[in-house]
């Protein structure tokens, strides 16, 4: 059995605890890729309503718009794009999460070797 650290990262403000975490990051990233809130929600297996509510809560908490919606033509449909703030937020989250995960893995491996007498961390003590 191999032990590995598992980290959950949330970015918060001084008055809101849940601006962006893995779920909202994935939602924003998928909207950026697909150009559609409904398609992003479907791909991630969440309801449109939950996706919309999560984005509105994040926007309210951070005080800026993360997405921009426009209506489609006569055939209906719409386009959802990330705003510049939305793009910056996912970039910040990606950078921060990547650094934290690398630091956590390096620290874990160092401690596992120290505690395990230099052995790998693939068995429980």
Sketch the domain layout of the chain as residue ranges.
22-115
- β-strand partners of 71: 78
Say what the pLDDT of residue 1 is. Answer: 64
pLDDT, one tens digit per residue, over 74-113 is 555 679 999 999 999 999 999 999 999 999 999 999 998 8
Task: Report the C-alpha gap between 118 and 113 in whole angstroms.
Answer: 4
Please list the alpha-helical segments (H only) found in 45-123: 48-62, 84-115
Q: Give me the phi and psi of 66, to 5 degrees please.
A: -105, -25
pTM assigned to the model: 0.82
Q: What percent of the chain has pLDDT over 90?
A: 69
* CA nearest neighbour of 81 among 55, 115, 120, 43: 55
* CA nearest neighbour of 76 among 19, 17, 121, 36: 36
Please give the sequence-ordered ranges of beta strands (E in DSSP) within the chain, or none if there are none.
67-71, 78-82
Domain 22-115, what fold? Arc Repressor Mutant, subunit A (1.10.10)
How far does CA 2 lie from the centroid of its chain? 26
């Amino acid at each position: 059995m191999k032990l590995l650290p598992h980290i959950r990262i949330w970015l918060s403000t001084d008055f809101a605890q849940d601006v962006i975490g893995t779920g909202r990051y994935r939602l924003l990233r998928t909207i950026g890729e697909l150009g559609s809130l409904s398609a992003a929600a479907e791909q991630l297996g969440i309801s449109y309503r939950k996706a919309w509510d999560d984005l509105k809560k994040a926007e309210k908490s951070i005080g800026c718009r993360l997405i921009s919606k426009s209506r489609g033509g006569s055939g209906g449909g719409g386009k959802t794009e990330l705003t510049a703030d939305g793009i910056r937020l996912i970039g910040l989250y990606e950078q921060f999460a990547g650094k934290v995960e690398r630091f956590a893995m390096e620290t874990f491996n160092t401690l596992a070797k120290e505690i395990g007498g230099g052995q790998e961390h693939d068995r429980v003590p």
